[in-house]
Amino acid sequence: MCPCAGGRPGQATIGDVYFTDRGIEELETRRGEEEVSLAWVAERLREFVDLNPEFETPVERLATWLARLDDEDE
């Protein structure tokens, strides 16, 4: 959960919990102890986009962001 009280720009909140954080918290609670490969995560993202093509752009942006986290020039 984000510790900032002011909220994220453009994000709706319920108390101190952001709508996007609820899913992240559920993921962490249900699967936080599991170890998975990035290949497994990539396949789940592909499956998700196949089932929900309207989310192709956000999933692509997330995947690109994760792939480039260590790039110093961006």
What length does the chain have? 74
pLDDT greater than 50 at residue 4: no
Looking at the fold, whether 3 and 19 belong to one and the same domain comes out as: yes
Nearest to 31 by CA among 44, 15, 48: 44
Looking at the fold, whether 48 and 29 belong to one and the same domain comes out as: no
Looking at the fold, whether 41 and 59 belong to one and the same domain comes out as: yes
Digit-coded pLDDT (tens) for 5-63: 445 555 555 555 566 688 889 999 999 999 999 999 999 999 999 999 999 999 999 99
Tell me what pLDDT residue 19 has: 66
CB 2 within 8 A of CB 18: yes
Q: Residue 13's CB: how many other CB atoms inside 10 A?
A: 14
Looking at the fold, whether 64 and 41 belong to one and the same domain comes out as: yes
Tell me what pLDDT residue 21 has: 84
CB 59 within 8 A of CB 43: no
Range(s) of the domain holding residue 28: 1-34
Q: How many domains is the chain partitioned into structurally?
A: 2
Tell me what pLDDT residue 9 has: 53
